[in-house]
Amino acid sequence: MTPPADRPVVLEIQGLTKFFGGLRAVSDFGVTIRERELVGLIGPNGAGKTTVFNMITGIYVPSAGSIKFQGTELAEMAPHTITQIGIARTFQNIRLFPNLTVLDNVRIAYHPHAGYGMLDALTHGGKFTSLERELTEKAQDFLGVFRLQDRQGEIARNLPYGEQRRLEIARALAAEPKLLLLDEPAAGMNPAEVATLMDLIHFIRDRFSLTILLIEHQMRVVMGICEWMSVMDFGEVIARGTPQEIQANQRVIEAYLGRGAAALAQKLREKRTHAA
């Protein structure tokens, strides 16, 4: 396999800034992500992580800066176009289509690839029958990958929490992205569920040759699966590096625990090294 540094750049963000009124939610954010990397974006609450996601996916228009996806500038594109050129996401608080079946949730994500037009849809003629069957079978295959195929007729909101998360990831993948953005995929999960989720993320990355950027609060998850990560605090990037580097980074510990606690942690560590 080609070493990571030689692979083509998928996402390049430079100087990304967002103001909400007088509040600077994100300032001068930058990141470069290469193909098939699994990157984490961490930071305390309110650091601006989700705002970065919302700008990448076109929900917010950046106040300044550029977002380049495989060389295409995204800054003024409509959200649905951004999805269609290959970026899909999940949401922090799950956003399924709650009153539709599990199957239809996934089939909706296939819509841009459906291949038949309005006229075929209204008459059910022409290419409709064969393309609709093809689309349905593809969606069912996806549900199979996520072990949801027996749930296809279930109404989405009736699924247990863990399965809703899985369905949301399945739906995002059905949009056939090259870059997948996961917003706190482990939120509200118990340790066992978190472990399966970590396996799942690795698995989909390999199976669909994806590049993944994920926001996460649970250190166990990011440290366990991400190759490297960016740490944000108060809208700025304060550190960047591999899990080991980040764990030892003084500014990160300060951001998470506060200055006093960080100093305490430092002292404890020194004591331990002395004792050894």
Count residues near another protein (CB under 8 A).
65
Q: Taking CB under 8 A as the rule, does residue 70 contact another protein?
A: no
Q: Taking CB under 8 A as the rule, does residue 89 contact another protein?
A: yes
Q: Taking CB under 8 A as the rule, does residue 78 contact another protein?
A: yes
Distance CA 36, CA 140 (A): 25
- Of the pair 175, 239, the CB lying nearest another protein is at 175
- Closest approach of another protein to the CB of residue 246, in Å: 25
Question: Which 120-149 positions form the footprint of another protein (CB under 8 A)?
Answer: 120-124, 128-129, 132-133, 135-137, 140-142, 144-147, 149
The Cα angle at residue 88 between residues 139 and 95, in degrees rounded to 5: 80
- Closest approach of another protein to the CB of residue 52, in Å: 15
What contacts 221, CB < 8 A, 6 or more positions away? 185, 186, 194, 197, 198
Are 237 and 30 a contacting pair, CB within 8 Å? Answer: yes
Pick the stretch among 31-39, 77-85, 229-237, 244-252 that binds another protein (CB under 8 A): 77-85
| Residue tagged 């930058």 (tokens) | 30
Distance CA 133, CA 239 (A): 49
Are 107 and 115 a contacting pair, CB within 8 Å? Answer: no
| Residue 229-268 contact track with another protein, rule CB under 8 A, x = bound | ----------------------------------------
CA terminus-to-terminus distance, the chain? 41
CA 131 to chain centre: 30
| Residue tagged 């399945």 (tokens) | 170
Among 9, 64, 114, 263, binds another protein (CB under 8 A): 114
The DSSP element (H or E) to which 156 belongs, if any, is none
Q: Which residues bind another protein (CB under 8 A)?
A: 57-59, 76-80, 83-84, 88-89, 91, 95-101, 103-104, 107-112, 114, 116, 118, 120-124, 128-129, 132-133, 135-137, 140-142, 144-147, 149, 152-153, 166, 171-172, 175, 196-197, 199-200, 202-203, 206-207
